[in-house]
């Protein structure tokens, strides 16, 4: 008798499973869109700051290799300290991944941040270009 009641409830269990799966399938993209909208401004600022810090570090390193003087070394030391912002960027990126964002969404957020500060194509190219 107990097994008969279980079999009678099986269609309800299946329906609940299907409804839950459907809800999760629809809710996941909406969740990710919300996480993106909530974090875009802060993440975009970190993208810009880290990009600038890496460019300054690269240029300072090139200066030290070309002309080895104390002033160039001081600029390199300062640029290395400036890279600390990249750690904040990395930690924020990891936190966003823990909240469910995939690499594709993070890439989209980075591109939006770059496009937001660039007014024309030349600025976008200069942002991505490493200059010697």
Three-state SS across the chain? CHHHHHHHHHHHHHHHHHHHHHHHHHHHHHHHHHHHHHHHHHHHHHHHHHHHHHHHHHHHHHHHHHCCCHHHHHHHHHHHHHCHHHHHHHHHHHHHHHCCCCHHHHHHHHHHHHHHHCCCHHHHHHHHCCCC
For residue range 26-42, list pLDDT tens digits in order: 888 888 999 999 999 99
pTM, full prediction:
0.72
For residue range 75-84, list pLDDT tens digits in order: 888 888 989 9
What pLDDT does 24 receive?
Answer: 81
What pLDDT does 18 receive?
Answer: 83
Low-confidence ranges of the chain (pLDDT < 70): 1-4, 119-132
């Amino acid at each position: 008798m107990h097994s008969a009641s279980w079999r009678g409830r099986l269609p309800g269990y299946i329906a609940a499973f299907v409804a839950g799966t459907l809800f999760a399938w629809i809710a996941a993209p909406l969740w990710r869109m919300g996480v993106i909208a909530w974090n875009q401004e802060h993440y975009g600022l970190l993208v810009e700051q880290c990009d600038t810090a890496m460019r300054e570090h690269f240029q300072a390193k090139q200066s030290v290799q070309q002309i080895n003087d104390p002033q160039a070394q001081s600029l390199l030391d300062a640029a290395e300290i400036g890279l600390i912002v990249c750690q904040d960027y990395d930690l924020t990126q990891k936190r966003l991944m823990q909240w469910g964002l995939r690499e594709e969404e993070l890439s989209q957020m980075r591109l939006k941040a770059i496009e937001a500060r660039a007014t024309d194509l030349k600025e976008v190219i200069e942002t991505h270009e490493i200059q010697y």
